[in-house]
Amino acid sequence: MAYQHTDATLALMKRSPVIPVMQVIDAADALAQTEALLAGGLSVLEITLRTPAALKSIEMLSRAFPEAAIGAGTVTNADQMEAAIDAGASFLVSPGMTRKLLRSARKSPVPFLPGIATATEAMTLYERGFRCMKFFPAEPAGGAKYLSSLSGPLPDLVFCPTGGIDIVKAKAYLELKNVACVGGSWMVAPALIKAGDYAAIEKLAREAAELRAA
């Protein structure tokens, strides 16, 4: 079976140990966050489609920083997928998967990282041609211990755990053989953004960039 975007998705996941999950307020905020994250050494960035500024920010950032991989997160339907691709997203991430979204995801021209929370969901996506998946919400769904238990029965799958992860927990996940990277928002916490403390964001990004997967 030819697995969907496996080589491209794995390369993307291995490019950085941490993928920041960004909520952007406006273009200026998106630019400031991105500059701080890139300065800290993180170059794979996920813009979650939870704010009105998300798609315009993906378009702007993709053009302004061609050296970075700017993706769209919280993709929950085919219309969002199409809009994100049109905006220039270089990869897509979903919190879960539906039948309708799966049909579109399999035709995606860019890597698609589908979300799973159980072994059954992972096996279903594996049957449909996906080897690389997002484990979400990681901490509430069982954490590193649960994800580690999947490596035995499902040795071909590679995960990016996201949800409730900080830098300490990230280290535990990155020690697992079935984890290529983690997603997190601790380095772009709302309090830091509200305070305009982009120097702190850069510092936290640098610490995250120094982590390594097993």
Active site amino acids: 46, 134
Q: Please provide the DSSP assignment of the chain as one string.
A: ---TTHHHHHHHHHH-SEEEEE--SSHHHHHHHHHHHHHTT--EEEEETTSTTHHHHHHHHHHH-TTSEEEEE---SHHHHHHHHHHT-S-EE-SS--HHHHHHHTT-SS-EE-EE-SHHHHHHHHHTT--EEEETTTTTTTHHHHHHHTTTT-TT-EEEEBSS--HHHHHHHHTSTTBS-EEE-GGG-HHHHHHT-HHHHHHHHHHHHT----
143: left (phi over 0), alpha (psi -120 to 50) or beta: left
